Structure formats: C-alpha cells, structure tokens
A and B are shown apart, each in its own frame.
Chain A
Amino acid sequence: MRRGAWLGLLIPLVLAVAWELAVRHGLASGRLMPPPSRLAQTARALSRSGELQMHVLATTQRVCVGFAIGAAAGTVLAMLNGASGLTLRLLDPSVQALRAIPSIAWVPLFILWLGIFETSKLALIALGVFFPVYLGLLTAIQSVDRKLIEVGRVFGLSRTEIALRVTWPAVMPAWIAALRTGLGLGFMFVVAAELMGASEGLGYLLLDGQQMGRADTILVAMIVFAVLGKTADSLLVVASRPVLRWQDTHRLRL
C-alpha cells in the first residue's frame, strides 16, 4: 500500500466513531441518520436472508449488460466516424443532437416502447454509457499525432495497418478513460432505472428504504453502490494496465 494511503481513512473513521458515540450517549436519536453499528446490523440481516446478494446481483447484471452494449456501440461508431469523413458528416451531427437530450428524458419513451421490465432499463444504461465512450474515443482518434501517422505512411503501411498499428495504440489511453467515465454513468443510470420501478436491485432497495422509513436500508444500499462502483472501476484499471505500461503516467490510481 502506498505510503500515507491510510491518511484518507482518518476523517471518515473519526466521524463514524463520533456519531456512534453521540447516539450511544443519547445526544442524537439516530433515527434519520443511524450509527455505524446499526448499519452493520442491517447489512448483516439483509445478507443473511440473501436479499442483499439478490439485489447486488440484479444491479451488477444490469450494469454489465448495459455497459457492454453501450460501450460496444460507442466504440464501433467512434471507430467508423474516426475512419471515414463521410460517415462522420452523415452521422455525427445526429449523434450530437441526441446527446443534447438528457438521457433520463428517454425514460418515458423507453417504457412506452420497451415495457417496464428489463429491456427499458438496459436501454437506458446503454444509452448513458454510449455517449461518453463515443465522444471520448472519437475525439482521441481525431487528435492522434499526425506525425506518427506519417511514420506509418513512410514505412508503407496500408490504411488498415495504420489504423491497427498506429491509431489504435495511440488512442488506447483515451479509450480506457472514456470507458471509465461510461462505467460511472452506467451506475448512475442503473439507479435511475431501478428507482423507476423494479422488484429487485439496489435501486429498489433504496426506494424500499424510503417507503418503509428505514434510513439504515438506504445507507446500506448507498455504501454497497460505492463499493461496487469502485470495484468495477478498479477492475477496469487493472485490466488496462498491461496495455498502458508504456505511458509515463501509467500508475493510474486505484
């Protein structure tokens, strides 16, 4: 572990202990802001009944599938538009116009078109992931150093070879950064989707906590979201490490 990494834990720990003590000594009721011990109890109860695992699994699946669809579509379209000026002029203005619509605004339409079950949720998540991936990758492709492209041309590489051996490695860091942004938005939109009506998932747990007046349930769901999001991001960073070794700043923070 990096030196001083524990320092970042100091403030949350102090606050948690202080709150715990405040509630124990009757300085606060802890009804709307339950102390850490109550959260631990709730989490234990939820996981013992298998409820928590079910919600985590449902949310994770949605994010994974939605992310995969959105990231793949964004990547393919950005590659296409980065390679061809014709499709860029043909498609990019429309994509940019669609991007101007807040993704959440699609919800009513998606529900009308795709129903209230899984498909509309996945569509929303995929849409949220699509735009940052598309924009990040396209911008990177368009700004690849012309001098490196020329190296490929001088050594007689074909257009395809230049795309594979020069452009693609050059945009790799930006693509991974775009995927990370997309993944973050994927988690944002899974909550939106699940708040809108679901029978399982962490978003459902949030809503359930609100309706039952259980702040502890809400907080547990939020903490699980934090852990899930951070884990997913870290996995992405670790997976990308081998291909980014050449970068001066490859030590991306976990």
Chain B
Amino acid sequence: MSALLVRGLGKTYADGTEALRGVDVHVGEGEIVAILGGSGCGKTTLLRLIAGLDEASAGTIAVTGENTVISAVFQEPRLLPWLTAEANVAFGGRRLGAAQRQDRTQSLLRRIGLAGYGKRWPRELSGGQQQRVAIARALIGHPGVLLLDEPFSALDGFTRASLHDLLLDLWRELQPTVLMVTHDIEEAVVLADRIVVMRPHPGRVQETLRVGLPRPRDRLAPEFDLVKRTALRAVNRSLAPPPEPHRTGPGVSPWL
C-alpha cells in the first residue's frame, strides 16, 4: 500500500506559460481520487509530472509506503504495435520473473475478457479492447500508484461503462492508489472517493469534494444525482472568471 502526496506543485514551461501553480493533492492508501476540470486547467500536466515525464518547476511529489511503483494508462492505448496483445501486457511486468510474468499476463487477459486474443496484434483489436490491454499492462506489475489520464474519453458510452466496472474490479483486487484525470463528471462520481476540481490559467485546485457513496454505485440513484450536481456546481465555479464582487445570475454551463 502506498500514498501519494503532492505539495505546492508548479510548472512553468520554457515559453513562459504557467500550467500549474501551487497544487496540493493527497491520495490516501488505496484511495481513488479524480481530478476534474476543463481544458487548460493543467490536469494532464499534473499527471505527467507525477509520472516523471516532465520536470516540475516547484513543489514536491512523494510516494510513501512499501510499494512506490508508479504506472499509468494514457488517453490513447499507446500499445506497442509490434508486440502482440499478451506481449504488450507483459511489457508492463519487466521487473517480474519470467514465470510470474507469464502467469499474470494470462490471468489478466482472462480478467479483461480477452483470453483468446493474446496472439493478436494491437491493430486487430477495437479501441475498447486496446484500452483494456493498456489497463492490464499498467496493472501487471502491481503498482502502488496508478495514474489514469482520461483513459476512457475516446470510447463510446457502453464501452466506457464496462471499463469503469472492469477498473473497479481490478482496483478492489489489487488495491492500488489511483489518481485519475477526467473531464467527465459522471465518470468521476462513479469511480472516485474524492473529486479534486481544478481551475484554469494557471491550473490550481479550486476545491475538493468527498463522494461518500457506497460501491457499487447506482447511476440512477437520487444520491448519485445529488453528488453529480454538487460536482457540476463546483466545476461551474471553477470556470467562472476570477472573483468579481457582483455576479448576476448563473451562466449557461458548458457541461450541460
């Protein structure tokens, strides 16, 4: 088990664009936290910094606990096209011994419903199947922290819902600490324990919401709707122009 602690994180790019300013995020052991925000709020930048793909300009990122392995699922599957589905899954488990890697690959392929597809090339799989393989690749090494960068945004609604269930199943079993980025409010409410709403230009934390619904969550329940509305309001606040003393009436939400 491990926790992720981000303190005062800032990122200014070489061209002077400030993408993040003073971001504090804490993800407890085995918790799922969703970062919610519109474009330009630096949520992808935040994830890239934590994944070690970019260097922060300020602040610290710490992974505490016995398992400090971080892995990630990107917005696109990013499978290596020259490896079969099973070799792609195994690619994530380089630190494992050969036998264990083989075992876990096969059992994960079964778990993601692609048992008979191990020998296929990525191009022979649908978008949803490719993203399942990417999830299996990220989990085979039993990471302490799993980062998800809008991993379902390119998929259709049905596929997305089934991948939400798959992700939650695997999360229950392996208990990674999950930080996910999304612009889909419903997705955040379905998956997360807490939702961190960010505001843009530069990206910083607007507020944090506790979802507090028992799992499995019923998307049709009134309480679900309530949380969704609360989140929507927070997002709207985050999109509002910087504090002005007199505001007249609610604007039209771009989220509707």
A interface residues (Cβ-Cβ under 8 A, vs B): 147-148, 150-151, 153-157, 165-166, 169-170, 172, 245-248
How many whole Å from B20's CB to the nearest CB in chain A?
19
Q: CA of A151 to CA of B78 in the docked complex: distance in angstroms?
A: 7
A166 touches B76 (CB 8 A): no
In the complex, residue of chain B having the shortest beta-carbon distance to the beta carbon of A248: B123
A154 touches B53 (CB 8 A): yes
B131 at the binding interface (Cβ < 8 Å) = no
Q: CA of A166 to CA of B80 in the docked complex: distance in angstroms?
A: 8
In the complex, residue of chain A having the shortest beta-carbon distance to the beta carbon of B147: A154
B92 at the binding interface (Cβ < 8 Å) = yes
A155 touches B71 (CB 8 A): yes
How many whole Å from B41's CB to the nearest CB in chain A?
21
How many whole Å from B119's CB to the nearest CB in chain A?
11
Q: How many A-B residue pairs have CB under 8 A?
A: 44
Q: Which of chain A's residues have a CB closer than 8 A to the CB of B91?
A: 151, 155, 165
Residue-by-residue, is B110-154 near A (CB-CB < 8 Å gives 1, otherwise 0)? Answer: 000000000001010000000000000000010000000000000
B53 touches A172 (CB 8 A): no
B27 at the binding interface (Cβ < 8 Å) = no
B241 at the binding interface (Cβ < 8 Å) = no
A-B contact pairs, 18 of them (CB 8 A): A147-B76, A150-B53, A151-B74, A151-B80, A153-B52, A154-B51, A155-B71, A155-B94, A156-B95, A157-B94, A165-B91, A172-B82, A245-B121, A246-B83, A246-B121, A246-B123, A247-B81, A248-B123
A147 touches B78 (CB 8 A): yes
**B74 CB contact (under 8 Å) in A147, A157, A165, A247:** A147
Q: Known: A147-B76, A166-B80, A170-B82. Contact between A154 and B71, CB under 8 A?
A: yes
How many whole Å from B95's CB to the nearest CB in chain A?
8
How many whole Å from B13's CB to the nearest CB in chain A?
16
Q: CA of A169 to CA of B82 in the docked complex: distance in angstroms?
A: 7
Q: Which of chain A's residues have a CB closer than 8 A to the CB of B51?
A: 153-154
In the complex, residue of chain A having the shortest beta-carbon distance to the beta carbon of B84: A246
Q: CA of A144 to CA of B89 in the docked complex: distance in angstroms?
A: 21
B181 at the binding interface (Cβ < 8 Å) = no
Q: Known: A154-B52, A154-B72, A157-B94. Contact between A148 and B121, CB under 8 A?
A: no
How many whole Å from B154's CB to the nearest CB in chain A?
14
Interface residues on B, range: 20 to 34
Given A155-B71, A245-B121, 15 other A-B contacts at CB below 8 A?
A147-B78, A148-B78, A148-B80, A150-B53, A151-B80, A153-B51, A154-B51, A154-B53, A154-B70, A156-B69, A165-B91, A169-B80, A246-B82, A246-B83, A248-B123
Q: CA of A157 to CA of B94 in the docked complex: distance in angstroms?
A: 9
How many whole Å from A177's CB to the nearest CB in chain B?
16
Q: CA of A147 to CA of B76 in the docked complex: distance in angstroms?
A: 9
In the complex, residue of chain A having the shortest beta-carbon distance to the beta carbon of B122: A246
The 6 lowest CB-CB distance pairs between A and B, nearest first, are: A169-B82, A246-B82, A154-B72, A151-B78, A246-B121, A154-B51
Q: Which of chain B's residues have a CB closer than 8 A to the CB of A170?
A: 82
How many whole Å from A76's CB to the nearest CB in chain B?
22
Q: Which of chain A's residues have a CB closer than 8 A to the CB of B70?
A: 154
Q: Which of chain B's residues have a CB closer than 8 A to the CB of A247?
A: 81
How many whole Å from B51's CB to the nearest CB in chain A?
5
In the complex, residue of chain B having the shortest beta-carbon distance to the beta carbon of A243: B82
B74 touches A155 (CB 8 A): no
In the complex, residue of chain A having the shortest beta-carbon distance to the beta carbon of B72: A154
In the complex, residue of chain B having the shortest beta-carbon distance to the beta carbon of A173: B82
Which B residues between 55 and 80 are near A, CB-CB below 8 angstroms?
A: 69-72, 74, 76, 78, 80
How many whole Å from B85's CB to the nearest CB in chain A?
11
B81 touches A155 (CB 8 A): no
In the complex, residue of chain A having the shortest beta-carbon distance to the beta carbon of B79: A151
Q: Which of chain A's residues have a CB closer than 8 A to the CB of B95?
A: 156
Q: CA of A155 to CA of B53 in the docked complex: distance in angstroms?
A: 11
Q: Which of chain B's residues have a CB closer than 8 A to the CB of A245?
A: 121
How many whole Å from A207's CB to the nearest CB in chain B?
46
Q: Which of chain A's residues have a CB closer than 8 A to the CB of B83?
A: 246
**A246 CB contact (under 8 Å) in B52, B69, B81, B141:** B81
How many whole Å from B188's CB to the nearest CB in chain A?
23
Q: Which of chain B's residues have a CB closer than 8 A to the CB of A155?
A: 71, 91-92, 94, 141
Q: Which of chain B's residues have a CB closer than 8 A to the CB of A165?
A: 91
In the complex, residue of chain A having the shortest beta-carbon distance to the beta carbon of B134: A151
In the complex, residue of chain B having the shortest beta-carbon distance to the beta carbon of A168: B82
Q: Which of the listed residues B72, B82, B95 has the most CB atoms from chain A within 10 Å of its own CB?
A: B82
Q: Which of chain A's residues have a CB closer than 8 A to the CB of B123?
A: 246, 248
Q: Which of chain A's residues have a CB closer than 8 A to the CB of B69?
A: 156
Q: Which of chain B's residues have a CB closer than 8 A to the CB of A150?
A: 53, 74, 78
Q: CA of A148 to CA of B80 in the docked complex: distance in angstroms?
A: 7
